């Protein structure tokens, strides 16, 4: 399988496709003797999970933290990304001396099923046909993603996590894991997320999916076999989504109505404004590291997520009897997952007398604030994890110690 027509023009895209089949990270293969049954009724007869680890697992296996990535993330949370060459998507948060301190914790981040960096997804080879799955890949849910991660925990011999942490779609996985496998989670940090997608969020995702499928190079989902990539459609989907990750204030402060490398309007359809150029850069850069079909499947999984519905329409029922300690974080300028949705989670936890902390952080950076430098956010996560570690009996981090990847 090669991108014969686009390979020379877009070498990074080819690198990403190679990573999907032979990732530069740890992998675990579940064979046909352990198929993964899916919420939608489908089955994955075999399953590969690609993952990264940071720090060292202690002898008691009690210091493990699972980091769940968002829609456009992957397992490369705190290492140099093998395709882009840039630092991992959460290098601000994970590392020695950082809030998720790898001198103290063993940190695990897995590429979700349906992803495109080594875990089984629509770009993987279907063992039944020898071709990429494409749209033959079964529709998946957040629950399916979490079920696969639990299998990975079993493989690694981790019976109980010190904590699970994630933002956006990662926060959905946190809630799912805490609800369905609460006995395996000591503490949970749900950031900038929701227990179910709003109609507005479903609408934004549908715009993105239609943009991908309208690209002639999508080829009904069989573009890998045709040697082409629906770059334009996926780039437009990313541009539309990226706007939702920012706030009006952040866009205005950064760009305003400033022109891009010109002194006046061109009276045409080039990128006259800096914000237009920025969105195009974001869109086409995204295509280099992400798969179009994965985008369809993952956004669909997010739209289907509804923890209320899973428990007879009562969110509190999802956490009845929970012993997990929760921290819920929102940002004032996040209009994609506004604070009111975090408050609904907190209210449900309070209704069952769960141990929950809630912090709304003042920020003008929008939804993406959890990926950026936010000192109050860092302090919140660090303090919560330190308290959980102390409660579980972990020794303090040694001064000037260094982590090592295992």
Q: What is the pLDDT of residues 326-377, one digit of tens each?
A: 999 999 999 999 999 999 999 999 999 999 999 999 999 999 999 999 999 9
334 is annotated as an active-site residue: yes
Residue 298 — very low, low, confident or very high, per pLDDT cuts 50/70/90?
Answer: very high
Enumerate the β-bridge partners of residue 191.
Answer: 167, 329
Quick one: CA dihedral 75, 363, 274, 276, positive or negative? Answer: positive
Nearest CA to 72 out of 287, 370, 330, 231 is that of 287
- What's residue 9's pLDDT? 63
- What's residue 207's pLDDT? 97
- What's residue 377's pLDDT? 98
| CB neighbours of residue 90 within 10 Å | 26
Q: Which two tokens stand for residue 327?
A: 């921290």
C-alpha 108 chain-centroid distance: 13
- What's residue 147's pLDDT? 97
5 is annotated as an active-site residue: no
User: What kind and span of H or E run contains 275?
Assistant: helix 274-287
Residue of 291, 367, 368, 403 marked active site: 367
Residue of 101, 303, 334, 368 marked active site: 334
- For all residues of the chain together, what is the average pLDDT? 93
- What's residue 32's pLDDT? 82
- What's residue 400's pLDDT? 52
Nearest CA to 113 out of 32, 182, 27 is that of 27
Burial tier of 190 (Cβ tally within 10 Å: 0-12, 13-18, 19+): buried
Q: Does the pLDDT of residue 404 top 90, yes or no?
A: no
- What's residue 262's pLDDT? 87
Contacts of 236 (CB under 8 A, 6+ apart): 208, 211, 283
Q: Which two tokens stand for residue 256?
A: 């305003």
Residue of 119, 168, 330, 363 marked active site: 168
Burial tier of 56 (Cβ tally within 10 Å: 0-12, 13-18, 19+): middle
Task: Please report which residue ranges of 4-86 form alpha helices under DSSP H.
Answer: 11-21
- What's residue 71's pLDDT? 97
Rg (CA), the chain: 21
Q: Which of 9-13, 25-29, 130-134, 174-178 has the lowest mean pLDDT?
A: 9-13
Integer Cα distance of 164 and 389 in angstroms: 13
Domains of the chain (ranges; CATH) run 11-391 (3.40.50.1820)
367 is annotated as an active-site residue: yes
Model pLDDT for residues 96-145, shown as the tens digit of each residue: 999 999 999 999 999 999 999 999 999 999 999 999 999 999 999 999 99
Percent of the chain's residues with pLDDT above 90: 83
**DSSP characters over 292-322:** HHHHHHHHHHHHH-BHHHHTTT-GGGGGTT-
Contact in structure between 135 and 156 (CB atoms under 8 Å) = no
């Amino acid at each position: 399988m090669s991108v014969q027509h686009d390979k020379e023009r877009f070498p990074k895209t080819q690198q990403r496709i190679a990573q999907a089949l032979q990732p530069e990270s740890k992998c675990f293969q579940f064979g046909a003797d352990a198929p993964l049954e899916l919420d939608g009724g489908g089955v994955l007869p075999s399953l590969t999970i690609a993952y990264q680890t940071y720090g060292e697992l202690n002898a008691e296996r009690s210091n493990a933290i699972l980091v769940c990535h968002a829609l456009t993330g992957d397992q490369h949370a705190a290492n140099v990304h093998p395709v882009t060459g840039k630092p991992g998507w959460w290098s601000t948060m994970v590392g020695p001396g950082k809030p998720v301190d790898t001198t103290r914790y063993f940190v695990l981040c897995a590429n979700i099923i349906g992803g495109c960096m080594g875990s089984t997804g629509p770009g993987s080879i279907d063992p039944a046909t020898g071709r990429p799955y494409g749209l033959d890949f079964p529709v998946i849910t957040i629950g399916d993603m979490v079920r696969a991660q639990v299998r990975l925990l079993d493989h690694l011999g981790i019976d109980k996590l010190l904590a699970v942490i994630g933002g956006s779609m990662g926060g959905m996985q946190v809630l799912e894991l805490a609800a369905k496998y609460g006995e395996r989670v000591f503490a949970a940090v749900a950031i900038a997320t929701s227990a179910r997608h709003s109609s507005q969020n479903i609408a934004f995702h549908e715009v993105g999916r239609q943009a991908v499928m309208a690209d002639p190079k999508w080829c009904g989902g069989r573009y890998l076999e045709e040697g082409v990539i629906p770059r334009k459609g996926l780039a437009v989907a990313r541009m539309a989504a990226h706007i939702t990750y920012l706030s009006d204030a952040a866009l205005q402060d950064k760009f305003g109505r400033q022109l891009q490398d010109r002194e006046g309007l061109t009276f045409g359809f080039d990128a006259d404004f800096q914000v237009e150029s920025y969105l195009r850069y974001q869109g086409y850069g995204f295509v280099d590291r992400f798969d179009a079909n994965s985008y369809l499947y993952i956004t669909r999984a997010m739209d289907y997520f509804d923890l209320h519905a899973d428990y007879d329409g009562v969110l509190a029922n999802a956490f009845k009897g929970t012993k997990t300690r929760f921290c819920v974080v929102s940002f004032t300028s996040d209009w994609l997952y506004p604070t009111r949705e975090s408050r609904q989670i907190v209210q449900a936890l309070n209704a069952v007398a769960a141990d929950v902390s809630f912090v709304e952080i003042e920020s003008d950076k929008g939804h993406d604030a959890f990926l950026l430098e936010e000192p109050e956010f860092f302090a919140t996560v660090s303090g919560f994890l330190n308290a959980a570690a102390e409660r579980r009996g972990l020794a303090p981090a040694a001064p000037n110690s260094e982590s090592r990847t295992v």
